[in-house]
A = this chain, B = another copy of it.
Amino acid sequence: MKSKSSHFPPVIILCEPQMGENIGASARAMANFGLEELRLVTPRDGWPNEKAFSNAGHAKHILDSVKVFQTTEDAVKDLHYVYATTARSRNLAKPVLGPVQCAKQCLAAEHFHHKSGILFGRERWGLNNDEIGQSDAIVTLPVVEQFASLNIAQAVMVLAYEWRKQSLEEDDWVPFQAPEKSAPATKSEINGFFEHLEGALDDIEFYKPLEKKPVMVQNIRALFHRAQLTQQDVRTLRGIVRAFIRGKRE
């Protein structure tokens, strides 16, 4: 797993956020996925905001370096590319991107040391047309039409996640491997277990009617083959068979 070194992950800009909780949760989402810079445009309850800090989890470093601006125009001044998130279609001739495309464009910009920012609107009514007008493109999420209204921090989460995922290059990225199972059993170890089990089942006349034995054996073997048995598994299974053969200890 390798991550691109990122000098300019996109800036997150919350326009007139009302609830401190959402500011904090946005910061937490940013930290989860490696975003760093949060800007606020005239937050309703001023700044700093206690509720933001109590909802930020371990992301207090992001809140500590928040920058506050009086207007959205000020907040995007130093940026090269601005994306406006909105759930509703607007009558503006702007490209409309999904989160994946937005993330890819931000990464492409980084490549040239250009800075991108993503605007998020007010809890009640989103971004205004001026704000969208200042943006290079609209970003929208694949929501169900009747339930298009997103919590701000949730929208930040999805875009941050998608940026991170794209920056890791792989859709099938996983951050940790399952611990190594013990060494896989060899075929002869597995067959040794099969013979052990099948012999024991013969002894207790398990296969009834006897002409079905071949298909029963085949199914049982298939089941254990699917489990990709380790050497430890084979020892355990043979222990179980031995225990059943012996029955209750004296």
Contact = CB atoms under 8 A, between A and B. Distances in A.
Contacts of A79: none
Given A1-B142, A148-B32, A219-B232, A206 B240 contact: yes
Given A92-B178, A224-B227, A236-B220, A168 B142 contact: yes
| Count class of interface residues, chain A | 35 or more
Q: Which 10 A-B pairs have the closest CB atoms?
A: A244-B244, A227-B227, A31-B147, A89-B176, A206-B243, A93-B181, A226-B227, A100-B171, A34-B144, A154-B157
A204 B32 contact: no
B57 A177 contact: no
Contacts of A142: 1, 33, 161, 164-165, 168, 173, 175
B236 A32 contact: no
A151 B228 contact: no
Interface of A: 1, 25, 28-29, 31-34, 57-59, 89-101, 138, 140-151, 153-154, 157-158, 161, 164-165, 168, 171-181, 200-201, 203-206, 216, 219-220, 223-224, 226-229, 232-233, 236-237, 239-240, 243-249
Given A98-B171, A223-B237, 6 more contacts: A96-B176, A98-B173, A142-B168, A154-B157, A204-B247, A244-B244
A144 B31 contact: yes
Contacts of A29: 151, 154
Given A95-B178, A179-B89, A226-B228, A144 B205 contact: no
Nearest to A182: B93
